[in-house]
Amino acid sequence: MELLKLQNLKMYYGTLRGDVRAVDDISFTMEKKDTVGLAGESGCGKTSAMLAILRLQPPNAKVSGEILFQGKNLLKMSDSEFRKNIRWKKISTIFQGAMNALHPTLRVGDQITEAILAHESRSKQEATEIAGKLFDLVGIGSERLDRYSHELSGGMKQRTMIAMSLACNPELIIADEPTTALDVIIEAQVLKVMKELQEKLGLSMIVISHDLSMIAETCNKAAIMYAGKIVEFGGIVKVFTEPLHPYTQKLIAAFPSILGSMRELASISGFPPDLLSPPPACRFHPRCPYAMNICRKEEPRYIEADQNRYVACHLVSR
Amino acid sequence: MNNESVMKISNLKKYFPIKVGFIKSLASKEIPAVRAVDDISFDIRKEEIFGLVGESGCGKTTTGRLTIRLLEPTEGSVFFEGKDLAVVPNDVMRKLRQKLQIVFQDPYESLNPRMSVFDIISEPLHIQNITASEEQTRDRVHKVMEEMGLVPPEEFLYRFPHEISGGQRQRVAIARAFVLGPEFIVADEPVSMLDASIRTQVLKLIKKLVKQFHVSFLYITHDIATSRHMCNRLAVMYLGKIVEMGPTESVIKNPFHHYTDALIAAVPVPDPTARRIEVVIKGEVPSAFNPPPGCRFHTRCPRAQDICKKEEPELIDLEKERYVACHFPLGK
């Protein structure tokens, strides 16, 4: 079943120097129980895309296109309806930087019950019970509900964020860099919790990260973003083993692995463009080793290269 | 690389005292302290990239700072060119700083935003009074910028840090470290703030510099996968101690310490078809203020025995060049 469909989604930030085209015409579809990895480097627009879906964008942002969630266009919905029925109730999020995402002077339990009480007609006691169950579920233990965030370790704070995102039984969770600030062993523990929850609760997720290794481990589909565009989308194994877009190829080869024999790490010359004035035509052409004349003149269309495999590159569409 | 060592660190300790009230200080004999670095010894060889890996709070950054005396050690010695940096007088140390340099983690914070690239790179030359004329300074700055791939230098000289990209900033930081012609450089997570497509460029630059200028690096990182590509030898730290040390590939392929084993198992792999090895250790790193007695890892170790709680294992030479501090090393 189609859960979320982004169609020609755009989000431009209006500034004095012109529009910053943070998300520029992206489309993809995810089914129920899918975990889509949205990968890309800093400033490629991945977090902006998440903000647009949750309608958390700053006032200077202009969003257009369609966000179809269970068939309904979220962009047509009124603010009050969105707040009441969608945000946190149907689509919740795990914010970046768990270290600073919790309220420092509220007990962590209360921060979870707050979300439940705002969306569901339950008593305080029922809400506390649910929060306790969630804490057990993510492996913190319900006895820690009355702690403050400074009394928890980094891993526990991140688990609290996960518990919070589950508070209202959402259909979709968007996790923005859920493990970036954590040490590897804690990261592995948190990823394990996330994977167990996916299996147990049949969660659908969008995982946003710059870390391809993390995406490879948690997701079944991947969308690779570059300069506000999705350059490649498809099943995780296909994207990683047979990447079609030169950017995807290079990016994957730039990640070192602890397994297997040593291979040369790839680098990409130049640096990511300024989204105020991105390069014309294909945005990757100034850094692409295979750039042809057409790449400088014409923007490649985002086409279905194979079943459920999308790519925007002249090399493929020829 | 040859086996001649450039720097020899022995029994190095750094305790950060904690402020307690007057009454409490009367009650306890010992001044409470965070034992950030607790009795570590190793040497760094010529033209070597020596990796120091571990989780946050294990003392790796403190160790890096101690080696070039940005911090005064509590105990122990750091031998460089036959002098103990822990005790040399300040004027001698100041001269020695020409040869001892550091590249910090965050190129967004380690460069003064109000100085131009030229000012940043030439500042060490002025401080050390190296160049006789402005012209000489300019030549030297130009030359080092070319080595760092900041070409053409004219294009960058009068820009400010906010006008250049992250990768270029880190190149400026490395240029600043190299302008004095150092012999030993501490690189504290030099690429962790950089994007993947830029990271490799900087890593390759560091490798090139080692070959070209015969320098040695202490490479501090939490990222073992990257250290595999960079380091000749690796030391794994846990709560202020070195628990394992040896040639990088050998340590990664065949770890002896249970902590190293877990650390390696926990590293995510950029391959969706790879099977995840179960991470067996639980919990989080205990506080360095009050580390567990005996082996510091025993509270999380899957194979801890009684002896581990009582007796601290020494770092011993188990095999050729392979050191481990464990009562029950893996595969032995």
Minimal Cα–Cα distance from A95 to chain B, Å? 19
A267 → closest Cβ in B200, B265, B282 = B200
In chain A, the residue whose alpha carbon lies closest to the alpha carbon of B276 is A217
Taking a contact as any Cβ pair under 8 Å apart, which residues of chain A between 229 and 268 contact chain B?
236-237, 240-241, 250-252, 254-259, 262, 265-268
Task: Tell whether A111 is covered by a domain.
Answer: no
Neighbour order of strands in the sheet with B184-188: B100-103, B184-188, B216-221, B49-53, B233-238, B241-247, B322-324, B316-319
Task: Tell whether A138 is covered by a domain.
Answer: no
CATH of the domain at A276: 3.40.50.300
Higher-scoring residue by pLDDT: B279, B259: B259
For residue range A52-105, what is the model confidence (pLDDT) as tens digits?
999 999 999 999 999 999 999 999 999 999 999 999 999 999 988 767 889 999
- In which domain, by residue range, is A260 found? 2-90+170-317
In chain A, the residue whose alpha carbon lies closest to the alpha carbon of B272 is A216
Task: Tell whether A293 is covered by a domain.
Answer: yes
Q: Rounded distance, CA B262 to CA A234, Å?
A: 32
Task: Tell whether A161 is covered by a domain.
Answer: no
A251 → closest Cβ in B56, B196, B266 = B196
Domain count within chain A = 1
Task: Tell whether A97 is covered by a domain.
Answer: no
In chain B, residues with a C-beta closer than 8 Å to the C-beta of A151 are none
pLDDT, position B23: 77
State residue A208 phi and psi, 5-degree precision: -100, 125
- pLDDT exceeds 80 at position B42: yes
Does the beta-carbon distance from A259 to B273 stay under 8 Å?
no
Through-space distance between the first and last CA atoms of chain B, rounded to whole angstroms: 30
Q: Rounded distance, CA A207 to CA A177, Å?
A: 7
- C-alpha distances (whole Å) from B205 to each of A267, B190, B191 are 11, 11, 11
What is this structure's pTM?
A: 0.90
Does the beta-carbon distance from B266 to A184 stay under 8 Å?
yes
* Residues of B engaging A, defined by a Cβ cutoff of 8 Å: 55-56, 165-168, 195-201, 203-204, 222-226, 228-229, 249, 252, 262-274, 276, 279, 281-282, 284-285
- Quote ipTM for the complex: 0.86
Q: What is the mean pLDDT of residues B277-297?
A: 84
pLDDT, position B313: 95
Band (pLDDT 50/70/90 cuts) for residue B26 is: confident
Task: Tell whether A100 is covered by a domain.
Answer: no
Beta-ladder partners of B34: B16
Neighbour order of strands in the sheet with A2-15: A18-31, A2-15, A61-69, A72-73
HSE-up of residue A274 (Cα within 13 Å, Cβ side): 8
Band (pLDDT 50/70/90 cuts) for residue B2 is: low
Amino acid symbol at B70: L
Task: Tell whether A112 is covered by a domain.
Answer: no
Q: What is the mean pLDDT of residues A179-205?
A: 88
For residue range B221-272, what is the model confidence (pLDDT) as tens digits?
999 999 999 999 999 999 999 999 999 999 999 999 999 999 999 999 999 9
